[in-house]
Amino acid sequence: MSMLAGDLRAFLAAGQKELRILRRYPLNFIGGLFWSALLPAVYVLMGRAYSGGNDPRALSAFAERAGTTEVAAFVFIGFAMYMWLSSVLWGPGSALRREQIQGSLEATFLSPVSRLVPLFGPGVSALIPMLFSFAVTFVSLWLMFGFVPPLGAAIPVVVVVAVALPAMYAIGSLFAAGVLKYGEIGPVVQIVRGTFVLACGITFPVAMLPAWAQAGAAALPPTYIVSDIRAVVLRGAPLADIGADLLTIVGLTAVIALAAIASFRLLEASARRTGMLGRY
Amino acid sequence: MDELRAAIAIGKKDLIVLSRYRIAVVSQIFTPLYQGVIPAFLFGASFAVAGRVVGLDATVGTDNLAGFIFLGGVIAGLVAVSFWSMGMGMRNEMDAGTLEPTWLTPTRHETIVIGRALGGLVWFLLSQVVLFGIGIFAFGLRFDIGILAAVPALVVAIVGMVGVAYLLAGVVLLIRDANFFVDTTNFLFSTASGTAFPVTLLPTVLQPIALLLPTTYAMDLLRQHAIGARPTFDPALEYLGLFATTALLYPLGRWAFARAERSMRIRGTLGQY
């Protein structure tokens, strides 16, 4: 019991440390502000070009595939997911790599806490950029394109995000484990994020993908997360309608978290043998 | 002549360094593909009615979605080369600790930017050939042979972008930690040039800025010649705008670069980073 309490304290301390680092670099939030507002805005204008300035035939074709004619809101919600993925992959996903570069990874591993603490602890820090980019997304959607989400969607969105948090956390942790094997993961972050963008319907409807890719998308939590947020915000879907999706997310979270723990254990053992911990 | 030899040597050196990082080479071709082209193509196709992107036809006068996107990629790639290879290249030399020795050679400092431009443009051409090959094979990319008529416009735009690169190199030398600056200005420059959508869709307040960029005119001329897109302005006026903005930006860039260099010599910041 005391070991568990110690691990919990260490977990909170790891999260607190990451939050402190986040606070020390406030200018990083300018990047979040810029990309969260302008990246989707450019896509919305692309949508205007492709739809001939909202030609009813083009919009109706889009609605058949996306389930809504609200192109701006569809795109902004997708990009909120993109920013969330980015913060998960660049934040907790690369936190172990940062420790490695700073030379503190070996010292951390020498402490008597569970190895799961350095794996899952930094995930706490991804919450702040995620909440920030969600706020920027909805405010800029309102300011630039006049779309105000219905008030009734607020609680369902919070529920979806609350269910999705552990899933995103697990994705970041699974990714983080790779540092122990490969060291530099910058290019891999780009590839993984690109794969999610292509597969999960972040910038275009999943219906545009070939059948085999749609089957792959069904195994990725962000597909459900972004689709459910769109459903509650754009179609006013009640929670009961997305209940099955939420259960799927919970199931996938368990699988990914277990995979993260297993691969971390495996890679840690390999890193101990090869001396990879201190190398970069 | 010596300056030309130096520029070619710098360009060759950049290509040799790049070729040593094979993953980076592959990534530079595939990143624009999976982060830019494919999502834009599928997003555009989601507006298609019976296989035709009628909305795009109404906007630019052609429903050739693949052509519209890939040609946008040509100018976006040119902008990226100017910003990252030429402008940000100074920062890379700074990081590698080779800027001071390079600065001490008898080569003119402006030649360094020209050399980086040569290396960057060779790589740009190679990557565009590969991207177009993928486009033709996988996305049904088709364009008219008239694309060749747009080559002079592209050459003039390249000269203009070298001017922009001088301007950026000056800024990068002064602010040093320029990653965010280059990343965001590259994005804004590319967007304002109409690579992703016609500049007429930009907010009214930003449209005059788009008209100050040579790439805006080059983009429009390229799409006209290659896929028969409707011109935004009279083509003669577009050529005039292209030449005028290039004539403005090139000397402006050289002047800004010289000012930045002088400031660095006075402040002794060449070796700092």
pLDDT band at A252 (very low <50, low <70, confident <90, very high): very high
How far A213 CA lies from chain B's nearest CA (Å)? Answer: 13
Which chain B residues are closer than 8 Å to A194 by Cβ?
A: 31, 34-35
Which chain A residue has the Cα nearest residue B61?
A52
Q: Residue by residue, what is the 3-state secondary structure of chain A?
A: CHHHHHHHHHHHHHHHHHHHHHHHCCCHHHHHHHHHHHHHHHHHHHHHHHCCCCCHHHHHHHHHHHCCCCHHHHHHHHHHHHHHHHHHHHCHHHHHHHHHHHCCHHHHHHCCCCCHHHHHHHHHHHHHHHHHHHHHHHHHHHHHHCCCCCHHHHHHHHHHHHHHHHHHHHHHHHHHHCHHHHCCCHHHHHHHHHHHHHHCCCCCCHHHCCHHHHHHHCCCHHHHHHHHHHHHHHCCCCHHHHHHHHHHHHHHHHHHHHHHHHHHHHHHHHHHHHCHHHCC
CB contact under 8 A, A31 and B180: yes
Domain count, chain B: 1
The predicted structure's pLDDT at residue B85: 83
For residue B78, the enclosing domain spans: 2-267
> Any idea where the domains of chain A sit in the sequence?
2-278
What pLDDT does residue B248 have? 96
Per-block average pLDDT, block size 10, for chain B (273 residues)? 87 87 78 88 95 93 94 94 83 79 86 88 91 92 90 95 92 81 93 95 93 96 95 94 96 93 82 65
User: Which neighbouring-strand residues pair with B52?
Assistant: B49
The alpha-carbon gap from A178 to the nearest alpha carbon of chain B, in Å, equals 17
Best-predicted range by mean pLDDT (A25-34, A212-221, B86-95): A212-221
- The tens digit of pLDDT for each residue in A50-61 reads 999 889 999 999
Per DSSP, the three-state class of B153 is: helix
Strand segments (E) across chain A: none
Cα separations in angstroms, B241 against B41, B118, B213, B234, B265: 30, 25, 9, 11, 36
Q: Quick check: A218 pLDDT over 80?
A: yes
Q: Does A4 touch chain B (CB under 8 A)?
A: no
pLDDT at A263 over 90: no
Looking at CA atoms only, how far is residue A144 from chain B in angstroms?
A: 10
Mean pLDDT comparison of A11-15, A110-114, B46-50, highest-scoring range: B46-50
> Could you tell me if residue B273 is inside a domain?
no
Does ipTM come in above 0.95?
A: no
Q: CB distance from A76 to chain B under 8 Å?
A: no
CA-based nearest distance A1→chain B, Å: 47
- The count of C-alpha atoms lying within 13 angstroms of the C-alpha of A219, restricted to the half-sphere facing its C-beta, is 7
* pLDDT of A106: 79
Flag whether B272 is in a domain: no
CB contact (8 A) between residue A204 and residue B198: no
Residue with tokens 């989400």: A149
Find out whether B74 and B128 touch, Cβ atoms under 8 Å.
yes
Whether residue B197 and residue A45 make contact (CB cut-off 8 A), yes or no, is: yes
Residue B34 and residue A208: Cβ atoms within 8 Å?
A: no
Identify the band that residue A277 occupies on the pLDDT scale cut at 50, 70 and 90.
low
Is a pLDDT exceeding 60 seen at residue A1? Answer: no
